[in-house]
A = this chain, B = another copy of it.
Amino acid sequence: MGKVVTSASTSLDGFVAFPNDDPGPLFDWYGAGDVEVVNAGDLPPFHLTQTSADYWREWTSRLGCLVVGRHLFDITDGWKGQHPLGVPFVVLTHEAPTDWAHAHTGNAHFVTDGIEAAVAKAQQIAGDKTIGVAAGTVAGQALAAGLVDEVAIDLVPVVLGDGHAYFAGIDPSEVRLGDPTVVIPSARVTHMVFPVQR
């Protein structure tokens, strides 16, 4: 089975968005270079440095499926069924929507019986490819359940002060990370990957 990796752009104080869900300056690095990266969905292309583009392409080429929470699904309208990364996604929710306009794309899968089931479903879809887990409550639940292999942090040199934490709703002592296996400084971001210590 593929690795399970949480991933998010993160401030120096550990937030992945302001309280109102705005990522603010955390996404500045998506416009910090001149290498065009095309989205699979209907978002416009973005422009990375060569360093970030190389990292991004390596990461996205390995991805087989994402696991996201219901809140992210709702605020993006499920990316209208086409995630920018071009992969299917599993939505962990208490109740699957019955009238979602983009259900016909077949790219969204709803799981209602917990994080283990959501990750298992994503692994079934992804085969040997990597499972990407969204930061926030879902990442917290996955980490607490011992399901996460790596924590990818795109570290942005800003402070948000308040907002949505990368790992939400868990005992911080659950977060036992090893030294980073990847440290790639770029423009407006340093790409880092930490293995989870079990």
Residues of A within 8 A of B (CB): 10-14, 153, 155, 157-162, 165-167, 171-172, 175-180, 183, 185-188, 190, 192, 194
Contact = CB atoms under 8 A, between A and B. Distances in A.
Given A180-B190, A185-B180, A192-B190, A14 B159 contact: yes
Dominant SS among interface residues on chain A: loop
Given A14-B159, A161-B171, 19 more contacts: A10-B12, A12-B153, A12-B177, A13-B14, A155-B155, A157-B177, A157-B178, A157-B179, A157-B194, A158-B172, A158-B175, A159-B172, A159-B175, A161-B172, A162-B172, A179-B185, A179-B186, A179-B188, A183-B185
State the number of copies, please.
Answer: 2
14 contacts: A12-B153, A13-B14, A13-B166, A14-B159, A155-B155, A157-B179, A158-B176, A158-B177, A159-B172, A161-B172, A179-B186, A179-B187, A180-B185, A180-B190
Contacts of A192: 190
Contacts of A178: 157
A125 to B, nearest CB: 29
B157 A167 contact: no
A96 to B, nearest CB: 32
B160 A13 contact: no
Nearest to A172: B161
Nearest to A160: B172
* List of 6 A-B pairs having minimum Cβ-Cβ separation, nearest first: A13-B14, A161-B172, A157-B177, A159-B175, A159-B172, A183-B185
A13 B185 CA distance: 19
Contacts of A166: 12-13
Contact of A13 (B13, B171, B179, B188): B13
